[in-house]
Structure 1
Amino acid sequence: MTTGVHPLSLVAEQVPVPSIDITEQIERLQRLGEDFASLHQKVRTLSFTPGTDALNKISPLLLTAQDLTGQALRRLATLNGSPYTDLPGSRPALTALASVVSSSSLAGSDLSGALGANPYEGTAFPGPPADEDSVRKTRHAQARPVMTEHLADTAHQLDLCATGCRYLAAGIRRDLRHAAEQRPPHTPAPKLSATQHAALRALAQGEGKLYESHRIGTLRVQTKDGTRVSMATFRALKNRDLIRADARTSLLHGRDITVTSQGQRALAHAHQSPGPAPFPSSPAPAALPAARHSEVRR
């Protein structure tokens, strides 16, 4: 049964885009690089005997490599959906992080290859009598160079992963520093029309979606509280970088719409700005005195 959940939504942290802490992502990349370096050292210095000994020693290394691959993939998915993508140089950085995911996967594949080449204990099919000890030594001698080559390739891929994570952590930190230095000191908050303010306030509640209508090529926006947002207003907000739609999801399933940091500033500024002065209320007309009621009846 199809649930309509995009595969990457199971990988990326489910947090609003503006709340992603890029500094925390840098620290996680650094720790990931250290973990890759540690695994590289273990693989490079591994001493094993083909057979059960090799199985017991290589299996935990494979499980660790698979876990690190998952972590690298989560870092990629999170940064790809964060404000970091607005910075110059973010595209090659994300491509490099994708290469780390690839190299980590290859490392796991090579460890699997070493286990595949490993000779296991057991009894052969019935046949002519054979010297089992001699057969065992031959199988081990044939397997060792193949397994050693797989382990050498694993160490090479893990070294690339460790280097890549360290390079990326330093590069992203440098990108953030340069962006901060080049940012104007007093950037005025974007001004909003009444329609844009209402739309942005509705989308800031979360659960905003961009759908393709039943008519192909026709788009519509859905908000949590039902506020109507025209496509003209949506495009105006998007072109001013006040909102973004997650392009990783199909329009048929609905693309998540999030308010960017610029959009949050615009909302905060609109909230703090004094609104139009209310019209003064006119005093209620005084009631006629009861004593004069008889004069009125004349």
Structure 2
Amino acid sequence: MLKAQNLTATALLRLTALDNSMYTNIAGSRAGLELLASVVSASSLAGNDIANALFANPYEGAQFSGYVADDDAVRTARHAEAIPRMTRHLDDAAHQLDRSATGCHYLAHGITEDLASRQDHTAASAQQTTGLALTAAQYDALKSLLEGGRLHESSQRGLGVTRVATDDGTRVSIATYRALAKRGLVTADTSTSLYHGQKITVTEDGHRALTQPRHRAALTTAAATAPKAAVAQGARR
């Protein structure tokens, strides 16, 4: 019984710790918390069943003074009546403990899978963001768009031309913007017309990309120029 109560206390502590941890931000964590709560319930019921079995036990203490002591026939009858009740309570306790063990097994497996899935997702996201280093122009454009920017479409020579306008005045080409958008580093509010301006937002991946060092173009060594041949002056005849 004490072990069952200790299991309940331990499961309750683990449930409280998980419920107050970052684990709750992982997809599928609710099922894990509910499963651990079921372990708390099952182990508690097991302890209650064991207590009921102890209560049903026919104890052989002495009667109060003045009462006739039970003879063998009475004691045998009391035992015969108690044994089925005790057996039923102990069977129920064993069932609840088996449920607790199964729940703990599935919970450990589930948490391991949830954490592995989270790590895979984080790694894939980081790889997608940092797989190709930003060019210096892309880095500067992304940093500028942190301050704010909009996509606009204006009519030039009868054709719609989309351009990027940044709040700090940095020039960002539409090609650079589209390269950033393709990688999921920026998004535009498409609920607004381009003619009124679509607000550009730097995504979480974009913020993460800016934590990487700015790419520096390799210094190019000027090609050595071939020495010019001296021009021989022709002698005048």
Q: Are positions 1:114 and 2:53 aligned together?
A: yes
| Map of 1:285 onto structure 2 | none
| Map of 2:126 onto structure 1 | 185
Distance 1:98 1:131, change over 3 A: closer
Distance 1:159 1:96, change over 3 A: same
Identity %: 55
| Map of 2:23 onto structure 1 | 84
- Find the aligned partners of 2:70 and 2:117 in 1 and give their Cα distance: 70
Distance 1:132 1:88, change over 3 A: same
> 1:82 is matched by which residue type in structure 2?
S
Q: Are positions 1:152 and 2:94 aligned together?
A: no
Q: Which has the higher contact order (CA 8 A, sep 6+)?
A: 1
Q: Are positions 1:100 and 2:39 aligned together?
A: yes
Q: Are positions 1:164 and 2:68 aligned together?
A: no
Deviations 1:36-86 (A, max 9, x none): xxxxxxxxxxxxxxxxxxxxxxxxxx0111111111111111111111110
> 1:154 is matched by which residue type in structure 2?
A
1:173 to 112, 118, 122: 112
Deviations 1:150-184 (A, max 9, x none): 00000000000000000010011111111111121
- Find the aligned partners of 1:127 and 1:99 in 2 and give their Cα distance: 50
CA contact (8 A) 2:7 2:43 kept: yes
- Find the aligned partners of 1:177 and 1:99 in 2 and give their Cα distance: 24
TM-score (norm 1): 0.41
Shift of 1:124: 2.5
Residue correspondences, number: 133
| Map of 2:190 onto structure 1 | none
- Find the aligned partners of 1:68 and 1:77 in 2 and give their Cα distance: 14
Distance 1:147 1:121, change over 3 A: same
> 2:62 is matched by which residue type in structure 1?
T
Greater fraction strand: 2
Aligned residue for 1:185, secondary structure, equals helix
> 1:144 is matched by which residue type in structure 2?
I
Q: Are positions 1:135 and 2:74 aligned together?
A: yes
- Find the aligned partners of 1:127 and 1:81 in 2 and give their Cα distance: 60
Distance 1:93 1:123, change over 3 A: same
CA contact (8 A) 2:63 2:69 kept: no
> 1:115 is matched by which residue type in structure 2?
L
Residues 75-84 or 146-155, more deviating: 75-84
Shift of 1:123: 2.1
Deviations 1:95-131 (A, max 9, x none): 1100100000000000000001011111224567465
- Find the aligned partners of 1:63 and 1:128 in 2 and give their Cα distance: 35
- Find the aligned partners of 1:80 and 1:149 in 2 and give their Cα distance: 35
Structure number with greater Rg is: 2
> 2:97 is matched by which residue type in structure 1?
L
Distance 1:126 1:85, change over 3 A: same
2:6 to 67, 76, 88: 67
The unaligned stretches of length 5 or more in structure 1 are 1-61, 192-261, 273-298
Aligned residue for 2:120, secondary structure, equals helix
| Map of 1:279 onto structure 2 | none
The unaligned stretches of length 5 or more in structure 2 are 131-142, 144-203, 214-237
CA contact (8 A) 2:26 2:118 kept: yes
> 2:126 is matched by which residue type in structure 1?
P
- Find the aligned partners of 1:131 and 1:122 in 2 and give their Cα distance: 10
1:214-293 correspondence to structure 2 within 5 Å: none
